[in-house]
Structure 1
């Protein structure tokens, strides 16, 4: 019977290791996405500030694919603010994904601890 217990524990530890590896990859991916969103948000914020400080009469061009289109100042400011909000939202979503992955990993660790504790009490 102890041989079967050992196989069960071995399988549980293997599953935990796989979950740890997956969680590590998810966290790294999310951290990269958070960093990208942070940088893009910073660029959009700085551009937003510069455009706001420009004179009303200055012509502003916005990128549209491979060309640039003259765009009203207010529309450019509105588009930049929208980008800033989107990047902020992306960062929060990625942070939530990290917390969710860590929570699932802790849950798996706790269930493994309970299994080991049950096996100790039976022995």
Structure 2
């Protein structure tokens, strides 16, 4: 009977370890996505600062794919503001997802510790 309990604990331990590794990979991916979004937001900020000193009515071009279209200065400013808002929202969504995964990872680690403790107690009782 002790052998079957050990096998069950071993299987549960392995499953939890796999879950932890997967969660760590997801957290690492989210961190890289957040850094990418921060770089894009920085680029938008720099562009907004550069455009802010242009006189009204200045010719501005906005990139669309591999071409540039003549666009009104106010429209370019609005597009940059919208892009900044979208990037900020996505970054906050990624941050919330990361926090959820970190909590999930902590819970998995606690479960593994509890399983190890149960195994120790069980082995002490049999000896």
TM-score in same-fold range (> 0.5): yes
Q: Which range moves more in the overlay, 64-73 or 32-41?
A: 64-73
Kindly report which structure 2 residues correspond to 1:75-90, keeping only aligned pairs within 5 A, or say none.
Answer: 75-90=75-90
Partner of 2:41, secondary structure, is helix
Tell me the residue number matched to 1:106: 106
Q: Which range moves more in the overlay, 37-46 or 110-119?
A: 110-119
Q: Report the alpha carbon displacement of residue 95 of structure 1 after superposing the two structures with TM.
A: 1.2
TM-score, normalising length: structure 2: 0.86
Deviation by residue 1:27-75 (Cα, 9 ceiling, x = unmatched): 1110110011000000011101111111113200111222211111111
1:91 aligns with 2:66: no
Tell me the residue number matched to 2:10: 10
Which whole-Å CA distance do the structure 1 matches of 2:88 and 2:22 have between them?
Answer: 26
Which whole-Å CA distance do the structure 2 matches of 1:111 and 1:13 have between them?
Answer: 9
Q: Which range moves more in the overlay, 40-49 or 109-118?
A: 109-118
Tell me the residue number matched to 1:73: 73
Partner of 2:32, secondary structure, is helix
Unaligned runs of 5+ in 1: none
* Stretches of 4+ aligned residues off by more than 2 angstroms: 108-123
Q: Which range moves more in the overlay, 10-19 or 72-81?
A: 10-19
Tell me the residue number matched to 1:39: 39
| Contact 1:63 1:69 (C-alpha < 8 Å) held by counterparts | yes
1:61 aligns with 2:61: yes
C-alpha RMSD of the superposition? 1.7
Which whole-Å CA distance do the structure 2 matches of 1:81 and 1:53 have between them?
Answer: 16
Unaligned runs of 5+ in 2: none
Tell me the residue number matched to 1:30: 30
TM-score, normalising length: structure 1: 0.88
